[in-house]
Amino acid sequence: MKARTLRELVEHDVDLAARTTLALPARAALYARIKSVAHLAKLGGHGTRRRFILGGGSNLVMRSDFDGLMLHIAITGRRLIGEDGDAWYVRAGAGENWHDLVTWTLAQGWPGLENLALIPGTVGAAPIQNIGAYGLELSERFHSLEAIDLPSGKTLRLDRQACRFAYRSSLFKEEGWHLDGQRVITWVTFRLPKAWSAQTAYADLADELDRQAIARPTGQQIAEAVVAIRRRKLPDPALLPNAGSFFHNPIVDAAFAERLAAAHPRLPRYVQADGRVKLAAAWLIEQSGWKGRCLGRVGMYEKQALVLVNHGGATGSEVIALATAVQAAVRERFAIELTPEPVIL
Ligand code: EPU
């Protein structure tokens, strides 16, 4: 197929509501669906327009129209690129759907990603916020990635260490790669260890497997259990628009967590490798009276207080007003500052 010219790639005044899972009304002045690294290279780093890199639109709050160029990364393809005694190495395009990749690797007999089943979004967005769920983070299965530096046209290769992964964070998030659109993740390689063991310590997952009377689950069975839990607790964006967890789980120092637990004995606490303690934002929000409560056309979801939902026709300002009210309530009751998880544009 003939490579298209840049002019042909760019659309004008594009509606973003259907391209983002919170379905807020917003338009992009310029929008390009990028299907190959060659398309990206053609774009270069020039132009004074602001840019933003769009993946699946599942972690994005549009406050208003975007007066720049939105690059929707749709590079697809996935295959086994190597295998040694220890692991399978799978490479996937940044535009691949995350859950499809999880399902496909399991069907090939390469377990490892099962705890991350049904997370919305794309492969290219996954390393940016180091997606995680049910006791596993992407960083644990990540091998390396390729990106293109648009101003120079050079390919960058980053291994796991270079990516500086942390809880819902990475080098890319810290440096705002998605926000300036100058460096774009194009391909990601995963390392799926052959010495696989089921990771079932997360309470919800252990309970679900118990309920199904599965003592020694396969990767496939773990994925099915995760899908069942997510379907039960998290709203389907197609039916009730949302962007997943709206706030990070706050990480506090051990002494603060201990004082808080003395006052609130049921406080869920997860001790981190560095001794600090991760608290459950959902619990803090519920205790502050916001679970299932609405403000305008948005609310905190009745089955999972951490998920902000659009009950229909909401605007970005309504989302911000609710987020601000929830932050104030949690600050007032617990002296904890909640930080939004999605990108707010
Ligand atoms: N809880 C409440 N009230 C609620 C919901 C939960 O008190 O309404 C309590 C639970 O009882 C539990 C604790 O809060 O003790 C944690 O709840 P849950 O297991 O549902 O997980 P979470 O901390 O709210 C995180 C991730 C989710 C991920 C789940 C499962 C973040 C910000 N969120 O949520 O990720 O699916 O764990 O691993 O880390 C996302 O990032 O978009 C996302 C959905």
Mutational pocket test of ligand 1: of 102, 168, 283, 290, the residue with most ligand atoms within 8 Å of the beta carbon: 283
185, 85: one domain: yes
Contacts of 128 (CB under 8 A, 6+ apart): 170, 172, 173, 177, 178, 185
Active-site annotation holds for 169: no
Q: What is the pLDDT of residues 59-101, one digit of tens each?
A: 999 999 999 999 999 999 999 999 999 999 999 999 999 999 9
* DSSP 3-state of 104: helix
The pLDDT of residue 4 is: 63
- Average of per-residue pLDDT across 286-312: 98
Number of domains making up the chain: 4
152, 89: one domain: yes
284, part of any domain: yes
Any ligand 1 atom below 6 A from CB of 204: yes
Which residue out of 96, 140, 318, 341 is catalytically annotated? 341
167, 211: one domain: no
Which residues does residue 78 pair with via DSSP β-bridges, in sequence order? 92
Nearest CA to ligand 1 atom 26: 133
Which residue out of 168, 183, 191, 230 is catalytically annotated? 168
Distance 2 CA to ligand 1 centre (A): 47
pLDDT band at 1 (very low <50, low <70, confident <90, very high): very low
Compute CA distances 215 → 198, 203, 208, 228, whole Å. Answer: 11, 15, 11, 17
136, 183: one domain: yes
- Asked if the model's pLDDT at residue 48 lies above 80, the reply is no
Distance CA 3, CA 1 (A): 6
- Going across the sheet that includes 51-54, the strands are 10-15, 27-34, 66-73, 51-54
154, 67: one domain: no
The pLDDT of residue 294 is: 98
Any ligand 1 atom below 6 A from CB of 115: no
198, part of any domain: no
Q: What is the pLDDT of residues 211-243, one digit of tens each?
A: 999 999 999 999 999 999 999 999 999 999 999
Active-site annotation holds for 4: no
- Asked if the model's pLDDT at residue 2 lies above 80, the reply is no
Out of 73, 92, 110, a domain closes at 73
- Asked if the model's pLDDT at residue 49 lies above 50, the reply is yes
263, 317: one domain: yes
Neighbours of 1 (CB within 10 A): 5
89, 59: one domain: no
